[in-house]
Chain A
Amino acid sequence: MKQLMLGNEAVARGLYEAGCSFVSSYPGTPSTEITEAAAKYAEIYAEWAPNEKVAMEAAFGACLAGKRSFCGMKHVGLNVAADPLFTISYTGVNAGMVIAVADDAGMHSSQNEQDSRHYAMAAKMPMLEPADSAEAVAFTKLAYTLSEQFDTPVLLKMCTRISHSQSIVEPAPRVEASKPYEKNPQKYIMMPGNAKRRHPVVEERTAALVAYAENAEINRLEEGSDHCMGIITSSTAYQYVKEVCGDTYPILKLGMIWPMPEQKIRDFAASVEKLVVVEELDGFIEAHCKNLGLACVGKDKFSCIDELMPLQVAAQLAEPWQTGAVLEEQIPMRPPVMCAGCPHRGLFYTLKKNKVTAFGDIGCYTLGAVAPLAALDTTICMGASVSGLHGFVKAQEGEEPQKAVAVIGDSTFMHSGITGLVNVAYNNSNATVIIVDNSITGMTGHQQNPTTGMNLKGDPAAKIDLETLCKAVGINRVRVVDPYDLAQCDTVLKEELAAQEPSVIISRRPCALLKYVKHEKPLQADPNKCIGCKACMRIGCPAISIVDGKAKVDDTLCVGCGVCSQMCKFDALKAGKEA
């Protein structure tokens, strides 16, 4: 029966139908729901690994064991997993292995908008690119066939608009797949002697894949009535071209984005007056065409910056497009904010008050950079807060001491903060590392991690004890604070900044959105006591506003955390009356 399915759920459906039985991933928008959906199939073992490198290596181990395996990640996650990626391209697989990578053009929830297609070329690994949910199922299944036929892991490239769009899928039954493990050191031990013999195998494989690409059904030619131009495209860009141009121009839709066919593209170019490449982000297909010596229109017309949208395609292809009414009105921006009751708020207020330099990291707490808290100095990538702080502090040793801290979440600390902390201890920098432990992976929508005591399936799991871990790597000063207690946060921060050795402060309170968290009654502002000083506004809580010169609490948002009442010198913000 036809079902409406999210692109990510469709990938999981493809995993199920293809007989995949092992999934290991690290959450990251827009890839997260693939693994969450896979975990709902009883036939699939699915786990959250501490990071993408671990996930990919685990999936590789599972494929060696003869089980079809999978790992999924966002584009920047593939940077973390790049090390195994390049070498498992050499070893190839036993049972099939598929790696999904989801790009985020437009940076809806990311720190850069890298184009992951370059990885396929660099790692010499085939990459398929679905354009809707039905293709996400079909291409996932095909990826396993190709993986086993050509003895290579296969990349499945998703993007925000494919991952987070629902379209129609017709589910099919699962077909089990499994094979025995056979020892093969020449293939699987990548020491120089063996790797030298594997590299030519990889090159031959790519040549064979180019031959496959020439006739592959997923590289589809669609006839058009007007040959004044022909368009090569893929993924969302294909959908936008069809939306704008319909069946007017011939289209070569590439479902396999690496390696690309050569003769097929030459023949297509020869059949049209002008070759146009429409693709999101970089000119990847365009570069391939130009390498073949074919003139084409590409990134000179379609920007490599931001998401491609239908209107841009229409404008550049000179197709008509009606626009809507424009309001002559300044509409204030509505940026994302820390939720009411967010435990990060009190901590960031304390950092701002103490005028510290703060190395930030990746998670909800990146919102600590936004006004009025504006308490962060850097955000680069997962784990960079701890290692960056070490360099910042170490480079200034012997000078006027810097008040500087790192701020990293529990899940991000597990992902890649630990190695930075080892460096802090081992090379002895006077760093103060703050772990904001909200007992969940927050930004991606509440995934479990090694510090939460639960696994992906919701079953009890080993729980890493952060205090013990920090002490074990050589940090002697480990403090725990409640971020709802501003005075305690302030005292402990001052003490640890003053200490002449590395230290860790664990700012611990569960995410206010977690279902098990019990909230206090909403606070009320007493208009007789409030003098309108706006001290409570300095914490940037979305539940408080100033109405007619006095503080007002929105009782549909307020969870009674009480941070604002600690800001108030006039006792105006107090627990509301019994409901």
Chain B
Amino acid sequence: METKNIMIVGVGGQGSLLASKLLGQLLIGQGYDIKVSEVHGMSQRGGSVVTYVRYGDKVYSPVIDKGQADFIVSFELLEAARWTEYLKPGGKIITSTQQINPMPVIIGAAAYPENLVEKMQAAGVDVDAIDALTLAEQAGSAKTVNIVLMGRLSKYFDVTEEVWMQCIEKGVPAKFLEMNKKAFMLGANA
């Protein structure tokens, strides 16, 4: 099988590490070779962050370069736009419509671009935009945005809901399990 590429992008502190951990568990369970690559350190302090997930028969590069991503899962709209160039022609962007102003916008040195979903679509990009923050709050906590988006991603995967749920059970503490399962279903069915 040709190597598949998923990028998880967002703002440092949004919880992308748990999402990539969940995906890693899922894919290793399917018998794939897999690499998950992320950057720790300074960028996690509210900067733009990216995690690369690659799987297939044999995976070499730990990173995904421009034009290679089958899926870009974005926790924040501006970040989806920032990484659009990394999407493979025919790939799909799954993004939360949440907007978090970066410091240049906060201090008035730059403007947050408007109508980004439409602009991405105009550039020929297949965008699946959902209000993941509201769904996460419905599930019980804004912190489950990551699981809402994984639920959304699951729609495009040939893996049963049961297998996803088993991975969530392994990845999250028991007391948050029901909330996360709910978040996953809300994302999948939104």
B-contacting residues of A (Cβ < 8 Å)? 2-4, 29-30, 32-33, 108-109, 132, 160-162, 164-168, 236, 239-240, 242-243, 309-311, 321-339, 364, 367, 370-372, 443-445, 537, 540, 542, 544-546, 556
Expressed in whole angstroms, the Cα–Cα distance for A108 and B63 within the complex equals 14
Contact of B123 among A167, A326, A371, A546 (CB under 8 A): A326
CB of B34 within 8 A of CB of A160, answer no
8 Å CB contacts to A: which residues of B136-167?
Answer: 142
Q: Does B66 contact A (CB under 8 A)?
A: yes
Question: What residues on A are CB-neighbors of B78 within 8 Å?
Answer: 331-332, 334
CB of A540 within 8 A of CB of B67, answer no
CB of B123 within 8 A of CB of A334, answer no
Q: Does B190 contact A (CB under 8 A)?
A: no
CB of A311 within 8 A of CB of B62, answer no
Contact of B36 among A4, A30, A240, A337 (CB under 8 A): A4
- The A interface, classified by DSSP as helix, strand, loop or mixed, is loop
Known: A326-B123, A327-B81, A336-B42. A556 touches B142 (CB 8 A): yes
Expressed in whole angstroms, the Cα–Cα distance for A444 and B109 within the complex equals 29
Give the Cβ gap from A2 to chain B, nearest Cβ, in Å. 7
Q: Does B173 contact A (CB under 8 A)?
A: no
Question: What residues on A are CB-neighbors of B120 within 8 Å?
Answer: 327
Expressed in whole angstroms, the Cα–Cα distance for A437 and B24 within the complex equals 38
Expressed in whole angstroms, the Cα–Cα distance for A546 and B105 within the complex equals 10
Known: A167-B34, A236-B62, A445-B40. A321 touches B67 (CB 8 A): yes
Expressed in whole angstroms, the Cα–Cα distance for A321 and B89 within the complex equals 12
7 A-B pairs within 8 Å (CB atoms) are namely: A33-B40, A132-B62, A242-B61, A310-B65, A324-B84, A332-B78, A445-B40
Give the Cβ gap from A547 to chain B, nearest Cβ, in Å. 10
Expressed in whole angstroms, the Cα–Cα distance for A327 and B68 within the complex equals 16
Question: What residues on A are CB-neighbors of B43 within 8 Å?
Answer: 108-109, 336
Expressed in whole angstroms, the Cα–Cα distance for A461 and B168 within the complex equals 37
6 tightest A-B CB contacts, nearest first:
A109-B41, A29-B41, A336-B47, A165-B62, A332-B110, A334-B102
Expressed in whole angstroms, the Cα–Cα distance for A145 and B83 within the complex equals 44
Query: Which residue of chain A lies nearest to B48 when distances are taken between CB atoms in the complex?
Result: A334
Question: What residues on B are CB-neighbors of A168 within 8 Å?
Answer: 28, 33-34
CB of B60 within 8 A of CB of A164, answer no
CB of B81 within 8 A of CB of A331, answer yes
Expressed in whole angstroms, the Cα–Cα distance for A331 and B25 within the complex equals 33
Query: Which residue of chain A lies nearest to B25 when distances are taken between CB atoms in the complex?
Result: A4
Expressed in whole angstroms, the Cα–Cα distance for A179 and B139 within the complex equals 58
CB of A329 within 8 A of CB of B116, answer yes
Query: Which residue of chain A lies nearest to B39 when distances are taken between CB atoms in the complex?
Result: A108
Expressed in whole angstroms, the Cα–Cα distance for A443 and B12 within the complex equals 13
Expressed in whole angstroms, the Cα–Cα distance for A257 and B124 within the complex equals 45
Q: Does B11 contact A (CB under 8 A)?
A: yes
Expressed in whole angstroms, the Cα–Cα distance for A329 and B120 within the complex equals 10
Expressed in whole angstroms, the Cα–Cα distance for A260 and B167 within the complex equals 44
CB of B119 within 8 A of CB of A329, answer yes
CB of B103 within 8 A of CB of A324, answer no
8 Å CB contacts to A: which residues of B1-47?
Answer: 11-13, 24-25, 28, 33-47
Expressed in whole angstroms, the Cα–Cα distance for A132 and B33 within the complex equals 12
Give the Cβ gap from B115 to chain A, nearest Cβ, in Å. 10
- Please, what's the 1-or-0 string for B47-70, where 1 marks a CB less than 8 Å from any CB in chain A? 110000000000111110111110
